[in-house]
Amino acid sequence: MPRINNQTFYENAIKRYGCTARGLNWNSKQSQHTRFEVIHTLLEAHLPSSKIVDAGCGFGDLYLFLQQKGSLPRKYIGYDTLQEAIFVAHKRTKQHFVHKDILNDELELADFYIASGSMNILNRFETFLFIRRCYEASKKGFVFNLLKGEEKQGHFNYFLPHEIEAYTSEFAYDVEMYEDYMEGDFTVFLKKEDV
């Protein structure tokens, strides 16, 4: 079971804040963009020739961020479980969005999978499954971020970098950790051999 009902969690936030970063339970647009900046830095050289899947794409904000940077991938696909988010994302970006449950549905093969904030309300088992499934569906790698801290009660899911490194080094060719760009957050790049 999720820590909290995913659908209800996001629907309530959208009702309260609208189709904004806050509507997806980000602290602010700035914190969302700080995370996107790290992802962009890691993948910038690969994007022009890559097909990417944005796993938990929300309103398509990552695509809009990359567009603003002039750094779009060769092909972009967004997955989300929230129909309203998919509708808004398609309207904003005119890209391809699919109603998809990463934990249970068949995933399309892509060069890179990206997940920013997508695992923050999953339980630990679901988080590990999400990571493994996205990595397996990627040809070159998976970039994701998580909230950093000790596991605690509440809506959000916290990990320490060494926990993720221990889990992912069982199957990933190379595991890179990025910290110190924002308090309480870290980014992981799981690479396949040919990246």
Residue pLDDT, tens place only, 92-104: 999 999 999 999 9
Per-residue pLDDT band at 6 (split at 50, 70, 90): low
What pLDDT score does 74 carry?
98
Q: Does domain 6-191 have CATH number 3.40.50.150?
A: yes
What pLDDT score does 26 carry?
47
What pLDDT score does 155 carry?
74
Q: Hey, where are the domains in the chain?
A: 6-191
Per-residue pLDDT band at 152 (split at 50, 70, 90): confident
CB of 146 within 8 A of CB of 122? no
Give the CA distances from residue 23 to residues 20, 44, 89, 160, in Å, rounded to whole numbers and listed in that order.
Answer: 5, 27, 13, 26
Per-residue pLDDT at 25 exceeds 70: no
Average of pLDDT values for 159-174? 96
Whole-angstrom Cα distance, residue 176 to residue 56?
Answer: 21
Whole-angstrom Cα distance, residue 16 to residue 131?
Answer: 30
Per-residue pLDDT band at 10 (split at 50, 70, 90): very low
Per-residue pLDDT at 151 exceeds 70: yes
Counting residues of the chain whose pLDDT is more than 70, the rounded percentage is: 85
Q: What are phi and psi of 19, to 5 degrees?
A: -85, 70
CB of 55 within 8 A of CB of 118? yes
The overall average pLDDT reported for the chain is 88
Per-residue pLDDT at 179 exceeds 50: yes
Q: Which amino acid is at 137?
A: A
Percentages helix, strand, coil for the chain (3-state, rounded to 5) are 40, 25, 40
Average of pLDDT values for 51-75? 96
Record the tokens describing residue 193, joined without a space.
């051999």
